[in-house]
Amino acid sequence: MMTLDRPAFHALFKSERDRTFRFLLRLTRNHADAEDLLQESFLTVWRKREQFEGRGSAGGYLRRTAYHLYLNRRNRDERRAALTPLNGKPLSEPPADLRVERREAVEFLVERVREALAHLPEPARLVFVLFRFEGLTCAEIAELTDTHLKTVETRLLRATRALAARLETHREQMP
Amino acid sequence: MEPVMNPESDFDLIRALVEGRLAPADAAALESRIAADADLAAFRDDYALVHGLTAPLAGLDVTSELRFEDVAVDGPEDPAAPRSLRWSPRTRAAAAAVLISLSVLAGYRFLPPRPAEAVTLSAIPLDEAPVTAAVRLPAALASYRPSDGDRIVWLDSLDQGRELAALSGRPVLVFSEYPGCPFCLEMSKVAFRDEDVLDVIDALVPVKVNLQKVTPEELEFYWKQYPYFAVQDPSGKELHVFPGMQSGESLLTGVQDGLAHTADRPAPLSWERTDRLAGLLSAATDAEAEGRLDEAWTKFGELTAATDAPHFSDAGAAGRARLSQAARGDLRAAQALAAQDPVAAERALRAAAERFEHTPLAADFDATLGVLEATGRFPRLEESHR
């Protein structure tokens, strides 16, 4: 059975730090929050190393820990946000006859993709991000998020359909 | 609980198919299942599109700044690193004395200080330059039309009217009124609804000045020619003045005479184009004001590329210049801080890099920070030719 002693924890830190940071960055969309949660994740894993018991990989254990910390943070922020007035505004549609340099066209496309992702309901966005950017399988996402596999597949299907509908007009800009 | 064995579902296989990672035999088997399942077929098509369009976001090339010392609560040292020598204070003092003596003997203290490493800035300007204040166009103006098809739609702010006139390449039609004055009521029923006037009003930005809300000096000016009608350029220069009560016919003549003074100027932007660019400018300045600087940078760039609309293009260029100068201010502030407190300077650079994240300006902060972290000294700053 693999135990998480100090050398193993150091090896885990070296191999998983940046990967977990990117994972958190995709979830939080904020550098400072991702850094903060990353530190909290490693501290939690170290503090609760007795609970690890060598089940699965240490990297998976770290990612589950990071994910649950993210959920706790998000739920807390949502409760806080519920007490403050909304200041969001609808996003504008891109100009149809835009003519820009290639670099700016890519920047423009990235912005539209970000907007489209932001429009997804949170559970669907989460499944899509884990599937598309983290390379997790549907079964891994189900395990990580403690959700039924069928639910994950349905959310993935809906997220992809919604994104395709929203981004269809940019098909010709596909890199 | 047993760990999940990661069996692949058809959704996983479709991803592998889109990414070209699926063996031909598996691909053929998958295609036959897709042919029998409309949901899978739709997912394959949708995912292929979305996969391609999200490709620029897939390569997230960022690393964390977290150090092992920040999470190793039982001690800072890296267990893989060799343990440092543990010298007593007396031994350390003796060693220091020997080192100082040796350096004096070698004349080390007479050597000139080593020059700081240089960083060539690729985006942030080194010199301070004047910046133009942001043009804050109210969102309502992004769908403005001078007529609703039935009557003239007057703007009630001369400043906003001039701003919109400059951006869209039109002159301003200025009319002054006392609310409720009989002349004005009559004109609002007849002249301001005249079909021939409505046909030409699109070429101007009509503004109504309420004489109950002007300064005494302005009141004196407008009162001498009441009711004042004039076609002005966006700077306020009078091109044609035709005061007095207007019939539809005389208003049309006055407007046409005024427009004749603008015949040598470029054709105005269509209102549809003006709407789109005004919406973009409004979004860009909002993003700038709210600190979403990467979004502001991108939108100002789109405006700069609008070469058919010189004023919008200038507003875009001015927006990027403002962001560049703000970055310059952050960089210089960190530089000033470094002389007293290098750690605080590092923090300031990190904060600035985050503030300007996803803009070309961030790379200069990262490069500067890299040298400061590696050498402990703030680098010399040089500017590349741009």
Asked if residue A53 has pLDDT above 80, the reply is: no
Question: Minimal CA–CA distance to A73: which of A27, A130, A119, A106?
Answer: A27
Distance from CA of B196 to the nearest CA of A (A): 32
Helices then strands, each counted (H, E), chain B: 16, 6
- Mean pLDDT over the full length of chain B: 83
Nearest to A132 among B51, B71, B283 (CB): B51
Query: Which pLDDT score is estimated for B92?
Result: 60
Q: Taking 60 as the threshold, does the pLDDT of residue A145 lie above it?
A: yes
CB–CB of B121/B379 below 8 Å? Answer: no
Instruction: Indicate whether this model's pTM tops 0.90.
Output: no
Q: What is the 3-state secondary structure (H, E, C) of chain A?
A: CCCCCHHHHHHHHHHHHHHHHHHHHHHHCCHHHHHHHHHHHHHHHHHCHHHCCCCCCHHHHHHHHHHHHHHHHHHHHHHHHCCCCCCCCCCCCCCCCCCCCHHHHHHHHHHHHHHHHHHCCHHHHHHHHHHHCCCCCHHHHHHHHCCCHHHHHHHHHHHHHHHHHHHHHHHHHCC
For chain B, the first-to-last Cα distance in angstroms comes to 60
Locate the chain B residue with the closest alpha carbon to A166: B50
Spatial separation of the C-alpha atoms in residues B128 and B141, rounded to whole Å? 33
Determine the Cα–Cα distance for residues B348 and B27; give it in Å rounded to an integer: 52
Q: Do A55 and B58 touch (CB under 8 A)?
A: no
B85 contacts chain A (CB < 8 A): no
For residue A100, give the nearest of B11, B277, B302 by CB distance. Answer: B302
Q: Note the pLDDT of residue B115.
A: 62
Paired tokens of B305: 């590329």
How far is the C-alpha of A17 from the C-alpha of A140, rounded, in Å?
A: 20
Q: What is the CA radius of gyration of chain A?
A: 19
Q: Do B50 and A164 touch (CB under 8 A)?
A: yes
Phi and psi (nearest 5°) for B378? -70, 130
Q: Kindly provide the b/e burial profile for residues A72-100, where b requires at least 16 CB atoms within 10 angstroms of the residue's own CB.
A: ebbeeeeeeeeeeeeeeeeeeebbeeeeb
Cα four-point dihedral sign A12, A17, A22, A26 = positive
What's the confidence (pLDDT) of residue A134? 82
Q: What burial class does residue B127 get, using C-beta atoms within 10 Å of its C-beta: 0-12 exposed, 13-18 middle, 19+ buried?
A: exposed
Q: Is B152 helix (H, G, I), strand (E, B) or coil?
A: strand
Structural element, H or E, at residue B250:
helix B248-260
**Hey, which residues 101-120 in chain A have their CB within 8 Å of chain B?**
101, 104, 106-111, 113-114
Chain centre distance of CA A101: 30
Res B3: pLDDT: 39
CB-based contact, B84 to chain A, within 8 Å: no
For B250, how many CA atoms within 13 A lie in the half-sphere containing its CB? Answer: 11
The one-letter amino acid at B122: S
A28-52 pLDDT, tens digit each: 878 888 889 999 999 988 888 877 7
The stretches in chain B having pLDDT less than 70 are: 1-7, 59-61, 73-115, 138-140, 385-386
Question: Does residue A97 surpass a pLDDT of 80?
Answer: no
Per-residue pLDDT tens digits for B241-295: 999 999 999 999 999 999 999 888 888 898 888 888 888 888 899 899 889 999 9
**Closest approach of B148 to chain A, Cα-based (Å):** 23
Instruction: Look at A7 and B80 and tell me if their CB atoms are within 8 Å.
Output: yes
Which residue in B has a C-alpha nearest to residue A97's C-alpha? B273
Q: How many Cβ atoms are within 10 Å of A160's Cβ, its own excluded?
A: 28
Radius of gyration of chain B (CA): 34
Q: What's the pLDDT score for residue B11?
A: 93
**ipTM of predicted complex:** 0.71
Residue pairs spanning A and B at CB distance below 8 A: 156
Q: What is the C-alpha to C-alpha distance for residues A72 and A173, in angstroms, rounded to an integer?
A: 38
Residue B44 Cα, gap to closest chain A Cα (Å): 10
For A127-152, what is the mean pLDDT?
A: 87
